[in-house]
Structure 1
Amino acid sequence: MFYSNLERAAGLMAMAMALIGGAVLLALVAMTCVSITGRALVPLNIGLGPVPGDFEWIELGVGFAVFSFLPWCQFTGGHARVDLFQNWFGTRGNAAIDILSNLLMTAAATIIAWRLYLGMADKLRYGETTFILQLPLWQAYAAGLVGAVVFALVAAFCVIRAVAEARE
């Protein structure tokens, strides 16, 4: 019961982050199309032009989207695997490799979240902003941090799942 609730929570968090990241990417695509169309219409002198700060929006949005997709990729086992020696290790050996790889991914995800938090704190402390729109950079780091923390939590669940699968 506890395990199934944990699995459901991890899956929902991962899926929600992926859907939000996808929505952000779709919004960025739409904004890029509007901006490119606006650039093309500038010579007509009808008052239309590019979206101000479009490059900044792309940088911030894609950074968020990348962190949003990591939890789903981890939950579904979508990260790259090298199965070259899989047949040599047998069931127990492969289970041990799955546990170890999930532990290492959890460590990496935790370090990424920690360092992203420290970067966010620096941007907040110094009041750094984007060049054109003057958006506070700490907010972009905070948005990415949400995905990084969910990634670490999902990766920790994947360790539990790998151990449970190894016991079967």
Structure 2
Amino acid sequence: MNRAHMDRFIDTIEWIAAAFVGIVAINIFIAVILRNTLNYAIPDSFDIGRMLLGILIFWGIAATSYRGGHITVDLIWANVGPKYQRMIDVFATLVLLFVVTVQTYTLFDKVRGTYNDNVLTFEMHMPTWPFFAVAWAGDAAAVLLIAIRTWRLVFHPEDIHDTDIKTTE
């Protein structure tokens, strides 16, 4: 996969995450408006909203993991030279890759469990496993993006979009 394809894939993941932000916002907005103006509650709006927030979180992990937009503690990193900063970045990204890979594996068990147990929403009796599957897909996308980030940190640090990453040549 060349650089342009990877960048397109990364941008697509980020757009999907952004779309889920919009979907969650619209769901909340409509639920509040209907409840406050017409005294009407959308059936299963709480369950759907809760599951959409879960989806948003996992796709958000995918979007922030590649760009390095998550919370970091740079006490040591800020006080060492570029060579060691890069080593710290690679190590931290490898740890993140391991953690998110394990998380993705365990989340797949949750998807399978909700499917096998036929877990349904309370009011409309909708199956919940598709929501869990979409969240799992976001987590799987995070694994792919973190792997791409790791590859780029090691072999092509100039391709990383962080402003903190410095090349050491």
1:1-150 superposed matches below 5 A: 2=2, 4-38=3-37, 41-42=38-39, 49-150=40-141
Question: Partner letter of residue 140 of structure 2?
Answer: V
Task: Report the identity percentage.
Answer: 19
Measured after TM superposition, the shift of residue 6 of structure 1 is 4.8
Question: Partner letter of residue 11 of structure 1?
Answer: I
Of 118, 139, 151 in structure 2, the residue corresponding to residue 160 of structure 1 is 151
Question: Partner letter of residue 74 of structure 1?
Answer: S
CA RMSD of aligned residues (A): 1.9
Measured after TM superposition, the shift of residue 25 of structure 1 is 1.6
Q: Say how many residue pairs are matched.
A: 159
Measured after TM superposition, the shift of residue 86 of structure 1 is 2.3
Instruction: Return closer, same or farther for 1:87/1:145 CA change in 2, 3 Å cut-off.
Output: closer
Aligned partners of 2:75, 2:133: CA distance in 1, in Å?
A: 39
Measured after TM superposition, the shift of residue 76 of structure 1 is 1.6
Measured after TM superposition, the shift of residue 136 of structure 1 is 0.9
Q: 1:46 — aligned with what?
A: none
Which stretches in structure 2 are left out of the alignment for 5+ residues?
Answer: 158-166
TM-score, normalised to structure 1, is 0.84
Measured after TM superposition, the shift of residue 20 of structure 1 is 2.0
Measured after TM superposition, the shift of residue 122 of structure 1 is 1.0
